[in-house]
Amino acid sequence: MDEQQHERQIKDGGFTIPKSGARDDLVIAACASATELAGRIVDCYRRRLAEGRGQAQVRFLDNLEGRFKDSETRIRIDCHIGGSDVFLIQQLLDPVAGAGVNQNYLAFLIAARAFREHGAGRITAVLPYLAYARQDKPTKYTREATTAQLMAELSLAAGIDRLISWAPHSSQIHGFYGAAPIHLLDPQNLFLSEFERFRGREEVIVTAPDAGAAKLATHFSREMDCSCALASKYRPQPENVEISEIIGDFSGKRVAIIIDDMIASGGTIYELAGKLIRTRGIEELYIGVGHNLCLTEARERLEELYRQGPLKALVTTDSVPQTEEFRSLPFVKIHSLNDILCRTINRVHYDRSVSELFLRE
C-alpha cells in the first residue's frame, strides 16, 4: 500500500488512520459469548478513528447465533459481506453465561463457514483464550489425541485464513495451522507494566510453576532485573499436583512473583505458594496469569491464600469472561484486552507488523 496516498499514523500505539475509500470493508463479528468484548473492541476502534479524524468505517455484526429446539447451533448473517475483511471474535469458554468450550467452539466453526460460503474476502479468527491448546501432544505413556492440532485443522477447514490469540499455552500452535499466519500475543508487557515497582529489587524472585511457564518467567525476570526460579511438578492423579522441587537461589528473597499462562483449578499455584512460604521464606506473593478460567476450586484456593496473608494480588485478563465471584475479590485485578486486540486488528487489516506492538524501547 502507498502509505502517502492511503494512510497516516498517529503516535498512540501506531494506529493506522486511512483516508476515505481506503479499505472501508472491515467487519468485526462476534459469536454470542464474545458480544460484550467485541463491542468494546469496536468502540475502541471507532474512538481511535475519531481521534485521528479518519474516514474509514468498521461494521459490527453480532446476534449471529441462534439455537434450534434440539440444541443445534444456527449462524445467520443478515447483510452482504462479499469481499469483506472479517475478524470473527469468540470467547471459547464463557463461565458467565455457562457456555462451555465445546458449544462455543462449534458455534465459532459454523460462523467461520458461514462467512466463507457467503463470500468474505478474508477471515481472521480472534480467539483470546485458545481452548485445547494444552493438548498439544499426548501425555507420556498414554494413548491420547493431539487435540490442539485437530482443532486447528477444523478451523482451517471451516474457512479461517489466520489466527489471533492471547498468551496460548504452547507456541507449538504455530505448526498446527500450516502456512496460515498466526499472531500469538505476548502478555509480558502487561506483566512488566503491572509489576514495574519490583524492578531490580534484590528481595524479589520470579518463579515459574512448571517447565511450560519457564520461558515466559525467564524473559520476564530478565526484563525486571530480578532472580528467577523454576518449580518441578508432577501429577500422581489427573486433578492432584505435587511440587517436587524448586530450583533457584532464595537467599534474601521474601517476595515471589509467580508467572503462568493460566489458572484452571489453581492446584499448581496453591501447592507452589505453600512450598515457597514453608520452605523458602517467602512472605509476599504476587501472581500474573494470562487467563483465569473462573473455576470454583481456584477461587476457594486463592481466597485461602489471601486470608492467610501472603497473597497480595492476582493480575489477569478478560480473555475468558470473568464471573462476578472473581471480580468481587479484593486482590484480583482484571485487565481488558479490548485495546490490544483493537490495535492488533487494525495492524492486520492494513498488513502492518503486529510484533511492533510488543517491542519496548
Q: So which residues are the catalytic ones?
A: 233
Q: Give CA 60 to chain center in angstroms.
A: 21
**Of 111, 17, 125, whose CA–CA distance to 62 is shortest?**
111
Identify whether the C-beta of residue 59 lies closer than 8 Å to the C-beta of residue 340. no
- How does 274-300 read in b/e, with b if 16+ C-beta sit within 10 Å? bbbbeebebebbbbbbbbbbbbeebbe
From CA 231, how far away is CA 91, in angstroms rounded? 30
From CA 277, how far away is CA 120, in angstroms rounded? 54
Q: Is 110 helix (H, G, I), strand (E, B) or coil?
A: helix
The DSSP output letter for 70 is T
- How does 301-323 read in b/e, with b if 16+ C-beta sit within 10 Å? bbeebbeeebbebbbbbbbbbbb
Q: Is 21 exposed, middle or buried (0-12, 13-18, 19+ CB in 10 A)?
A: exposed
